[in-house]
Amino acid sequence: MRCSRFIIVMCAVLAVSSPRLQTSETGNAEPFALDIPPEILPPIIPDDNPMTAEKVSLGRKLYFDKRLSADNTVSCATCHDPRLGFADGKAVAEGIGGQKGARNSPTTLNAGFYDFQFWDGRSVTLEDQAKQPLINPVEMGMPSHDAVVEKVKGSEDYPDLFEKAFGTREITIDHIAMAIAAFERTLITLDSPFDRFIAGDNNAISESAKRGWDLFNGKGRCNTCHGYVESYPFFTDNKFHNVGVGAKNRQFDELARRAEHESDVAKVSHETGASELGRFLVTKGRPDIGAFKTSGLRDIALTAPYMHDGSEPTLESVIEFYNRGGETNPFLDGGIRPLELTDEEVGDLVGFLNTLTGSHIDRLKEEFAGDME
Amino acid sequence: MERVSRRDFFRLSGIAGAMGLVHWIRPASSPLGIVSLAHASGSQLTFAYVSDSHLLVRKGYDKEHRFTRALKKAVTDVNSMSPQPEFVLFGGDLAQLGLKEELDLGKGILSELKPKLYMMVGEHDWYHDMGEAWKGLFGEDRYSFDRKGIHFVVLNSVIVEDYWTGSKMTPMERMLFMAQLDNPRGNPFTVGPEGREWLKSDLAKVSKDTPVVVFSHSPLYKYYKRWNFWTDDAAEVQALLSPFANVTVIHGHTHQALVNRIGSITFYGMLSTAWPWPYAPEGLPELTRQMDRADPFNQFDGCGWGEAAFSQQGEADKVYNLWDREPMAVFYKDVKAGAIPGQPDRLHSGSSY
């Protein structure tokens, strides 16, 4: 582990010394610095999309703009709503015409710090992620990216803003995505009661929450996947694990075995319930059958219900799920086992998770209240 | 607990993401398992193995031990093979302490296997009562059989010179002594003179161009003596096998992927369902593609079961079905050519790395 400290230090050095605030492609736009404590690894920002104030404000406008959907009723903020922890409080997302998807909407908060976006991790950048709901028929339902661009071009307000942000009035889908991503990168919450406790304030969290933190790193085995590192305090290992959520549906086992043996994945991907195969549909790797991304835990109290299909209504039910040893299936992750937590211990873990909410959430809600109109 | 964020790894290596990493250990033509091997080598016969389950039964403790869960997982996996294998070999060390209740538990679990089952003994099965319970449950410790033109031999290769009578050890003391990994004062495994005599007369009936497969618990070569990854009369046993055109030794005990070739004999180690051993500090056969270090939180990492596919000439390809990792395939043609494997792309174990 000595090696890891070296890597972390090297990254910090590289991050500080790298020209992150350059203004390529943005003419004389103002550089924009993210407000991150120095001991925390900054998010990876693509070289071709450095942060500027103009991009952030353009991205904010786009994020809340319902005109980006086919019937002008759904924006990014519909499913990633500042008033609901930047999620939507629903089990699965509902797009245009009330159509339901298969996935629980993840929070935009701190998403810039993750290695992957979507529950199956098919996007590596926020830019790539932003493009997909636009043309998903059950989400924003636009027929194509070109159609999105045409709509944005057609509005009076955007061309000026794009010129300020990207130095050109020629609007492209990439620029739309880059602006949205730049805005999303500013949605950071790092000042929860737990953070203050770690920094040395023993009164920041309750005794129950402190016991919960010990359980988190001990009997609960949570840190196996939701590990906490001071320089990367997001409670995710950025890996994918089968904990059995999809196996609650009894047809999963049979479909999973077929996926294991089928050399042509396309055949399996169109079966009913195939989306429960998760990461496997992206990598075609056997260890990924039924595996989904380890979600981060910051602000988790705000984003019920839980799991990739929203099947767990409360934090307590999530912990009870893990306490049972998840749901048995042939590809259950080897780290999952029954935990034998008592009711009190479950309560302590919930108490701990409730301390991960950023202290300025209310301020964020207020700030974006106007955008939600 | 500190973990290196993989973000660090990616940032330093300049990779923006993990998409599209091609896993070199996978056969290029098709992603998974024995089906691809069977078609690729036009195989004559395929079999599966499950090995080294080391079952423990704790009195007054009715919850299933994780080793029990692992063995059941292997059985379910073998039963879901498509197509089904010709037979299943159990590679030894069914029990951990050679107790009747452990062997009974193991027999019950393995009875769920659909294909025909052949059993082989390991030292953990034998040294509590010198094989009495084992023989009662499973029959003779050495035997042979023929399938589809291939001659299969099952050996007892964990014969150890008596050190317990003189020192007046109780059966359990003897068993616990044998159960250690580090065995500096113990005696090494052998097939023994009786075993070699038996093997010689068994092979006398087999023509030299018949493919021969030898199942052995210990490696039948000399890898690392301190851990008893070693068969002391390996040279004599190999001499009995070398007149044959194509010999494959499949062995247990080492709980890791191992590949070796000596003369015309190919040696493949089997995985354990219970736990992986690290690689020994010396003596590792250089044809071995090493498994990466196991994740201590994940009871299945570095464990699993396997399959082998034989051509008509007895050339054997092998698949290591590592749980929670990509399957690892080893091809006869590479072993025969002496191709030294490079480092795996993936430096980390566990799903989706």
CATH number of the domain that residue A32 is part of: 1.10.760.10
Q: Is residue A23 part of a domain?
A: no
The structural domain count of chain A equals: 2
Residue A197 sits in the same domain as residue A270: yes
Relative to beta strand B328-330, strand B316-322 is antiparallel
A273 CB within 8 Å of a chain B CB: no
Residue A145 sits in the same domain as residue A200: no
A52 or A16: which leads in pLDDT: A52
Statement: residue B182 has pLDDT above 50: yes
Cβ within 8 Å, pair A41-B297: no
Mean pLDDT of all residues belonging to chain B: 86
Q: Is residue A369 part of a domain?
A: no
Q: Would you state the pLDDT for residue B296?
A: 85
Statement: residue B8 has pLDDT above 80: no
Q: Would you state the pLDDT for residue A133?
A: 97
In chain B the beta strands, taken as DSSP E runs, fall at 45-50, 87-90, 116-119, 143-147, 150-154, 212-216, 222-224, 229-230, 247-251, 259-262, 265-269, 304-310, 316-322, 328-330
Q: Would you state the pLDDT for residue A7?
A: 47
pLDDT in tens, A67-81: 999 999 999 999 999
Chain A residues closer than 8 Å to B297 by CB: 221, 224, 335
Nearest chain A residue to B275 by CA: give it: A334
CA distance A188 to chain B (A): 18
Q: What is the pTM of this model?
A: 0.86
The CA angle B164-B166-B170, to the nearest 5 degrees, is 40
Give the residue carrying structure tokens 């997001």: A234
The alpha carbon of residue B236 and the mean position of all alpha carbons in its chain are separated, in whole angstroms, by 22
Interface of A with B in 48-77 (CB under 8 A): none
Q: Would you state the pLDDT for residue B169?
A: 93
Q: Is residue A108 part of a domain?
A: yes
Q: Would you state the pLDDT for residue A29?
A: 60
B30 CB within 8 Å of a chain A CB: yes
Residue A172 sits in the same domain as residue A202: no
A263 CB within 8 Å of a chain B CB: yes
Most distant CA pair in chain B, distance: 65
Distances (CA, A) of A9 to A16, A21, B12: 11, 20, 12
Cα Rg, chain A, nearest whole Å: 21
| A13-21 mean pLDDT | 41
Q: Give the structural domain span for A71.
A: 28-188
Q: Would you state the pLDDT for residue A6?
A: 47
Q: Is residue A78 part of a domain?
A: yes
Relative to beta strand B229-230, strand B87-90 is unpaired
| B176-185 mean pLDDT | 82
Statement: residue A3 has pLDDT above 60: no
pLDDT band at B176 (very low <50, low <70, confident <90, very high): very high
Statement: residue A92 has pLDDT above 80: yes
A188, A219, A242 — which closes off a domain? A188
Residue B326 identity: E
Residue A201 sits in the same domain as residue A171: no
Chain B residues closer than 8 Å to A287 by CB: 324-326, 350-352
Residue B250, token pair as written in the block: 């499949």
Q: Would you state the pLDDT for residue B108?
A: 97
CB A261 within 8 A of CB B82: yes
Across the interface, of A4, A122, A263, the residue whose CB is closest to B4 is A4
CB B135 within 8 A of CB B125: no
Mention every residue, 6+ apart, whose C-beta is less than 8 A from residue B250. Answer: B49, B89, B91, B213, B214, B215, B216, B268, B270, B308
A156, A188, A220 — which closes off a domain? A188
Helix H segments across B29-65? 33-41
Q: Is residue A21 part of a domain?
A: no
Q: Report the share of chain B in percent with pLDDT over 90.
A: 73
Residue A82 sits in the same domain as residue A227: no
Cβ within 8 Å, pair A287-B351: yes
pLDDT band at B145 (very low <50, low <70, confident <90, very high): very high
Q: Report the share of chain B in percent with pLDDT over 70.
A: 84
CA distance B138 to chain A (A): 28
Q: Would you state the pLDDT for residue B198?
A: 98
Q: Would you state the pLDDT for residue B344?
A: 63
pLDDT band at B346 (very low <50, low <70, confident <90, very high): low
Q: Catalytic residue numbers of A?
A: 139
Cβ within 8 Å, pair B80-A260: yes
Q: How far apart are CA A294 and CA A282, in angstroms?
A: 16
Q: Is residue A42 part of a domain?
A: yes
Statement: residue A123 has pLDDT above 50: yes
A223 CB within 8 Å of a chain B CB: yes
B294 CB within 8 Å of a chain A CB: no
The candidate with the shortest Cα–Cα distance to A242, out of A315, A324, A318, A335, is A335
Statement: residue A355 has pLDDT above 70: yes
Residue A148 sits in the same domain as residue A251: no
pLDDT in tens, A159-189: 999 999 999 999 999 999 999 999 999 999 9
Statement: residue A24 has pLDDT above 70: no
Residue A277 sits in the same domain as residue A336: yes
pLDDT band at B62 (very low <50, low <70, confident <90, very high): low
Statement: residue A239 has pLDDT above 50: yes
Nearest chain A residue to B18 by CA: give it: A124
Mean pLDDT of all residues belonging to chain A: 91
pLDDT band at B37 (very low <50, low <70, confident <90, very high): low
* DSSP per-residue letters across A250-307: TTHHHHHHHHHH-S-HHHHHTSTTGGGGBTHHHH--GGGTTBEE----TTGGGS-SBS
Helix axes A145-154, A173-185, angle to 10 degrees: 80
Q: Is residue A199 part of a domain?
A: yes
CA distance A96 to chain B (A): 30
**Ramachandran class of B14: left when φ > 0, alpha when ψ lies in -120 to 50, beta otherwise:** left
CB B299 within 8 A of CB B273: no
Residue A88 sits in the same domain as residue A104: yes
Statement: residue B265 has pLDDT above 90: yes
Q: Is the dihedral of CA A85, A87, A90, A96 positive or negative?
A: positive
The candidate with the shortest Cα–Cα distance to B248, out of B331, B340, B159, is B331
Residue A329 sits in the same domain as residue A199: yes
Q: Is residue A136 part of a domain?
A: yes
Statement: residue B19 has pLDDT above 80: no
Residue A43 sits in the same domain as residue A151: yes
* Domains contained in chain B, CATH given: 43-336 (3.60.21.10)
Residue A213 sits in the same domain as residue A328: yes
Residue A160 sits in the same domain as residue A197: no
